[in-house]
Amino acid sequence: MAEVGFGFHQLFAEQQAAFRLRLGNLLPTGAWDDLRHNQHDRAFVVAGALKADLLADLAAAVDKAISQGTALEVFRKDFRQIVARHGWTGWTGEGSAKGEAWRTRVIYQTNLLTSYAAGRRAQLLAGNYKYWVYRHSGAEHPRLHHLALDGIALPPNHPFWARFFPPNGWGCGCRVFGAHTEAGIRRVGGDPGKQLPPDWDRPDPRTGLPKGLQKGWDYAPGASTAETILTLKDKLPRLPAPIGARLFESWPAGKTADLDRAFGAFVDQALGQFVQGRHMVIGALKPGWVDAAIRHGVTPETAEIVVTDLNVQHTFRGTDHVTVASTRAVPRQPKAAPLDLDWYKGMPGRLGRPRAVLLDHVSGEPVFSLIYDVPGRTAKMVIEINTWVKKAKAAFNTMQTGRMVELVDLRADVTRGAILVEGRL
């Protein structure tokens, strides 16, 4: 395997996996040191953020930065919108442009640097390198203790890496690279003959830590999760529903248009052949829908909304849209007031704009009903929460079917216990 080289700005699967491992545990904290060391490997925190929905929005903004490679200024814009939406006050840095710039940089850099380090550690372990090489970031104003470590090559099991695997302080951009040979050490900028200072682990009387380490940074990010990261890197852990919903909501309009085109082709194929168990993600639950479900005792496993080829055929069975081939998989049955096929193909683009949303959490399987105005009529799309999709080997929110309805029937559903989550009837 080739030696690991530079590439912090080139996002990679191990980094995404390392960060998403934290998202199942959103912890409200009052101060930055409420969590210590490898507790950060499996938890997401922002000091002073105490509300679950606020933390979920902040986590979604950081995940966007990591998964899409967005710049600090994009994160700052997201941060301002989140603060305004939640009315968050009293956070450190509030009240001045300089304070906001500092705080957003800390949140952005800390999460990117530590997730990068955890993912890099997993890569190095997978590569089974004989040497790990410490490289200074090349910062214009270097920390001299970090600069003194530049180029040192040590075996992966050396105790140095338990405390000095970077980052080793706020904003530290030092890196670690792998090599199999002395020539490989030189190739990544290391020096095979360079030795650790004899007092490298001697505590500084002022801090109690070896020189070069800041408080809270004397640990190796990802050391407690490296094996898990390697297991998940090719099948990234899905985002918790509150975070996935917020992340999807920030998608640009162009991506939704792409989904419309892809879904149209998926529907045509599903109606023209036997059921094959295929599925497609067409969008996601909105944050408010997820929050309402959780408040009423229903926790979606993911925000993603999926349609299977069987769902498509079930929606249009008994209509002229179902071919002879497909009716052998789904028997033809009369279906009153079917949906317009072209309207149905545009579901990805209209998912987030229903007239109303109902949550039925008491009768059978919990479902959302999305209500749409169609010229002169009303359409109801049923989304079953946490439905197992066999080929995906995971549970999703599946859009089971759709039909035309009367508003009087929907109002009766509310009378019987369905929750009006959004909109009007």
pLDDT for position 408: 92
- Does residue 188 share a domain with residue 115? yes
Spatial separation of the C-alpha atoms in residues 357 and 367, rounded to whole Å: 10
pLDDT exceeds cutoff 90 at 159: yes
- Does residue 252 share a domain with residue 221? no
- Does residue 303 share a domain with residue 178? no
- Does residue 120 share a domain with residue 40? yes
- Does residue 248 share a domain with residue 124? no
pLDDT for position 59: 95
- Residue ending a domain, choose from 187, 210, 232: 232
pLDDT tens figures, 240-283: 999 999 988 877 766 778 888 899 999 999 998 788 889 999 99
- Does residue 156 share a domain with residue 262? no
Structure-token match 């606020």, residue found = 54
Count Cβ neighbours within 10 Å for each residue of 15-42 and write b for 16 or more, e otherwise: bbbbbbbbbeebbebeebeebeebebbb
- Residue ending a domain, choose from 232, 264, 292: 232
The bridge status of strand 394-405 relative to strand 377-389 is antiparallel
Q: Is 297 inside a domain boundary?
A: yes
φ, ψ of residue 32 to 5 degrees: the values are: -65, -25
CB 420 within 8 A of CB 363: no
Q: Is 167 inside a domain boundary?
A: yes
pLDDT for position 301: 92
Using CA atoms, how far residue 330 sits from 270, 276, 314, 381, 391, in Å, is 11, 12, 7, 19, 19
Count Cβ neighbours within 10 Å for each residue of 55-65 and write b for 16 or more, e otherwise: bbbbbbbbbbb
What's the full length of the chain, in residues?
425
Structure tokens, 168: 């080793």
- Going edge to edge, which strands form the sheet with 419-423? 279-284, 304-308, 394-405, 377-389, 367-374, 356-360, 419-423
- Does residue 85 share a domain with residue 26? yes
- Does residue 182 share a domain with residue 60? yes
Q: Which of 313, 344, 355 is nearest to 331 (CA)?
A: 313
Q: Is 2 inside a domain boundary?
A: no
pTM passes above 0.85: no
Q: Is 4 inside a domain boundary?
A: no
pLDDT for position 6: 34
pLDDT for position 337: 58
Structure-token match 């408040």, residue found = 295
Q: Is 1 inside a domain boundary?
A: no
- Does residue 112 share a domain with residue 38? yes
Residues spanned by the domain of 73: 13-232
Beta-bridge partner residues of 285? none
Spatial separation of the C-alpha atoms in residues 251 and 96, rounded to whole Å: 30
- Does residue 252 share a domain with residue 149? no
- Residue ending a domain, choose from 208, 232, 256: 232
Residues 6 or more apart whose CB falls under 8 angstroms from that of 419 comprise 292, 296, 358, 359, 360, 361
- Does residue 245 share a domain with residue 228? no
Count of the separate structural domains present in the chain:
2
Q: Is 6 inside a domain boundary?
A: no
The angle formed by the CA atoms of residues 411, 376 and 401, to the nearest 5 degrees, is 60
Confidence of residue 323 (pLDDT cuts 50, 70, 90): very low
- Does residue 210 share a domain with residue 294? no
Q: Is 362 inside a domain boundary?
A: yes
pLDDT for position 276: 85
DSSP state for residue 42 in the 8-state scheme? G
pLDDT tens figures, 7-41: 344 568 899 999 999 998 999 998 877 888 889 99
Q: Which of 28-32, 181-185, 325-329 has the highest mean pLDDT?
A: 181-185
pLDDT tens figures, 70-81: 899 999 999 999
pLDDT tens figures, 278-302: 999 999 999 999 999 999 999 999 9
Residues 6 or more apart whose CB falls under 8 angstroms from that of 7 comprise none
pLDDT for position 249: 82
Spatial separation of the C-alpha atoms in residues 359 and 362, rounded to whole Å: 9
The bridge status of strand 279-284 relative to strand 153-154 is unpaired
φ, ψ of residue 374 to 5 degrees: the values are: -115, 140
